[in-house]
Amino acid sequence: MPDRPGVAGMSAVRKPFRREGEDLRRRALVEATLACIATLGMEGTTVREIAIRAGVTAGLIRHYFASKDELVLAAYSHYVEKMARRSREAVNDGPPDPLLRLALFVRTNLSAAAVDQTNLALWAGFIKTVRTSPAMAAIHLGGYTGYRADAESLIGAAFAFIKRRTTANELRRLGIALNAIIDGLWLEGSIAPGEFADGELTTIGIASASALLGINLENAGLA
Amino acid sequence: MPDRPGVAGMSAVRKPFRREGEDLRRRALVEATLACIATLGMEGTTVREIAIRAGVTAGLIRHYFASKDELVLAAYSHYVEKMARRSREAVNDGPPDPLLRLALFVRTNLSAAAVDQTNLALWAGFIKTVRTSPAMAAIHLGGYTGYRADAESLIGAAFAFIKRRTTANELRRLGIALNAIIDGLWLEGSIAPGEFADGELTTIGIASASALLGINLENAGLA
DNA sequence: AAAGTTATTATTCATTTGTATAACAAAGTT
DNA sequence: AACTTTGTTATACAAATGAATAATAACTTT
């Protein structure tokens, strides 16, 4: 018994609508899905709830996506790309100094924008699906290895800048470690936001990266 | 139409059972819940599936737990305690040398037993619930702060052993950082197990911890 | 051995969910 | 202005789920 249109065929007011373009509708649905997962978790993410948030009715979802799974897939892809883009843009828009760029990389990924419960909820909501769905796993791996490649590249540039010799193997290990520090701090901060003072995670991140790489990044990256 | 007992009142064989003690049944249900979450994720974890894995029928769940949520809560609590206990026991059973103990702490939490997809699936399944349920959040925070306290304590002992002076603040920051490294490596290894060679995460973990703390742990902890 | 407890199974129910289909209307085409 | 297309809403449906209740049998007590 739907409640919106008349109680029992009484008024039967049909929801007015406009025909928006496909791009707009797909994006609206994808973003509504992300908002839904972030707010209610994957279980609370029903086609009806998504539709409400996108300002449409549930039936429209199937017009643009073959199934709910496909919509979730599109949403995850969108999310991964957005995250990767933000990290890359922040560094690319930064100064050319490799040390400053490295510090900026750490800072950006530990900024208040990155470290919040919404992101964590999204991440956790998706992660479990990554295990069961090969399509999700592919998207995830793509984003992840790209992320680590960025870290390695930045470290390599910084080492070259200070004329420190290194090997591919060492670079790989340091890339993994730097990523681990960032991920770990991100995780801690996202789960228990109240446990850390403002900027504390960033400070720890920079200090840890400095110790890890043997480069002093403490005074770098503060434009 | 249940399939087990006779097709239509034909044989009507009732499932035979034994009256196990309350402890046994509660534990079986909790463990079945964990197995279910690990294998199927939180969505696939239905009361019926849990009951099957525990070798009982769904109705029994409500006899021991007021609701499914309460069962999940008990399962999470059990999981957190088990993890904390394992880490602590490994260190306590180890040698008295503070440096060896610190290395052992890192190794244990990055061992193959800890780093696997099952644990990740469990963790991810629970994490999202932590956000919405205060009871879950309390359990989580308890386990987490305890874990970090252990790290701080081990670092403090190691510093005292090598007669290095420190402050409470530095100890806190190093504890957070060490934890972050372990968590981050654990995460990377659990998500993409194929990406790392055997023992690679452990090696990186020890090397990173050494750099972070300024203590050489490389040759420690190999009984 | 008879009676009583209650652990356990079996059944029922209301709700929710994803999907499928039907009805409708907004925009384009001629 | 009439016709077509298809974006969009509304309804229907079967399956699944958590919970509630009824039926039964395994122990315990006496």
Average pLDDT over residues A190-206: 91
Are the beta carbons of A208 and B181 separated by less than 8 Å? Answer: yes
* Token duo for residue A193: 């936001």
> If we measure between CA atoms, which residue out of B170, B64, B179, B204 comes closest to residue A169?
B204
Average pLDDT over residues B13-42: 92
**pTM of this prediction?**
0.85
> If we measure between CA atoms, which residue out of B181, B115, B106, B207 comes closest to residue B150?
B106
DSSP 8-state code for residue B167? -
> Minimal Cα–Cα distance from B89 to chain A, Å?
23
A78: amino acid identity, one letter: H
How high is the pLDDT of residue A36?
94
Contacts of B212 in chain A (CB under 8 A): 208, 211-212
Q: Which nucleotide is nearest to B15 (CA to C1')?
A: C9
Alpha-carbon distance of B202 to B200, in angstroms, equals 5
DSSP 8-state code for residue B199? T
DSSP 8-state code for residue A219? T
Test mutation, B144, B170, B201, B208, chain A, max A CBs within 10 A: B208
Q: Hey, how many other C-beta atoms are within 10 angstroms of the C-beta on A129?
A: 20
Q: Hey, how many other C-beta atoms are within 10 angstroms of the C-beta on B39?
A: 16
Strand C atom within 7 Å of A15 CB: no
Please check whether residue B111 is in contact with residue B89, taking contact to mean a CB–CB distance below 8 angstroms.
no
Please check whether residue B149 is in contact with residue A154, taking contact to mean a CB–CB distance below 8 angstroms.
no
How far CA A115 is from CA of A144, A164, B176, B186, in Å, comes to 17, 32, 15, 19
Please check whether residue A136 is in contact with residue A129, taking contact to mean a CB–CB distance below 8 angstroms.
yes
Are the beta carbons of A141 and B192 separated by less than 8 Å? Answer: yes
How high is the pLDDT of residue A222?
52
* Token duo for residue A18: 């406009």
How high is the pLDDT of residue A11?
41
* Token duo for residue B109: 């939490």
3-state helix, strand, coil in chain B (%, to 5): 70, 0, 30
Q: Give residue B116's pLDDT band: very low, low, confident or very high (50, 70, 90).
A: confident
Alpha-carbon distance of A178 to A155, in angstroms, equals 9
* CA atom of B46 to C1′ atom of D22, Å: 23
As a dihedral over the C-alpha atoms of residue B215, residue A164, residue A180, residue A99, rounded to 10 degrees, the angle is: 110
pLDDT at A5 over 60: no
Average pLDDT over residues B29-43: 93
Nearest residue to nucleotide D17 when comparing alpha carbons to its C1'?
B46
Alpha-carbon distance of B105 to B110, in angstroms, equals 9
DSSP string of B98-140?
HHHHHHHHHHHHTSTTTSSHHHHHHHHHHHHHHHH-HHHHHHH
Q: What is the mean pLDDT of chain A?
A: 88
How high is the pLDDT of residue A4?
39
> Minimal Cα–Cα distance from B163 to chain A, Å?
20
Alpha-carbon distance of B7 to B161, in angstroms, equals 73
How high is the pLDDT of residue A9?
37
Average pLDDT over residues B40-61: 94
Q: Which nucleotide is nearest to A58 (CA to C1')?
A: D9
Q: Which helix (H) or strand (E) holds B155?
A: helix B134-161
Alpha-carbon distance of A106 to A91, in angstroms, equals 10
Nearest to A177 among B125, B195, B208 (CB): B208
What is the Cβ-side half-sphere exposure of residue B124, based on CA atoms within 13 angstroms?
27
User: Which range scores top for mean pLDDT: A61-75, A130-144, B125-139?
Assistant: A61-75
pLDDT at A1 over 50: no
DSSP string of A101-164?
HHHHHHHHHTSTTTSSHHHHHHHHHHHHHHHH-HHHHHHHHHHHHHHHHHHHHHHHHHHHHTT-
Alpha-carbon distance of B4 to A185, in angstroms, equals 51
Q: Give residue B95's pLDDT band: very low, low, confident or very high (50, 70, 90).
A: very high
* CA atom of A67 to C1′ atom of C28, Å: 28
Phi and psi based region of residue B21 (left: phi greater than 0; alpha: psi -120 to 50; beta: remaining): beta
Q: Give residue B7's pLDDT band: very low, low, confident or very high (50, 70, 90).
A: very low
pLDDT digits (tens, 9 = 90+) for B172-186: 999 999 999 999 999
Share of chain A above pLDDT 70, in %: 93
Contacts of B145 in chain A (CB under 8 A): 195
How high is the pLDDT of residue A3?
37
* Token duo for residue B86: 């394992």
Are the beta carbons of B177 and A185 separated by less than 8 Å? Answer: yes
pLDDT digits (tens, 9 = 90+) for A24-62: 999 999 999 999 998 888 888 999 999 999 999 999 999
Alpha-carbon distance of A152 to A172, in angstroms, equals 6
Q: Which residue has the higher pLDDT, B4 or A138?
A: A138
As a dihedral over the C-alpha atoms of residue A44, residue A47, residue A51, residue A54, rounded to 10 degrees, the angle is: 70
pLDDT at A189 over 80: yes
Please check whether residue B151 is in contact with residue B206, taking contact to mean a CB–CB distance below 8 angstroms.
no
Alpha-carbon distance of A3 to B144, in angstroms, equals 45
Average pLDDT over residues A107-118: 86
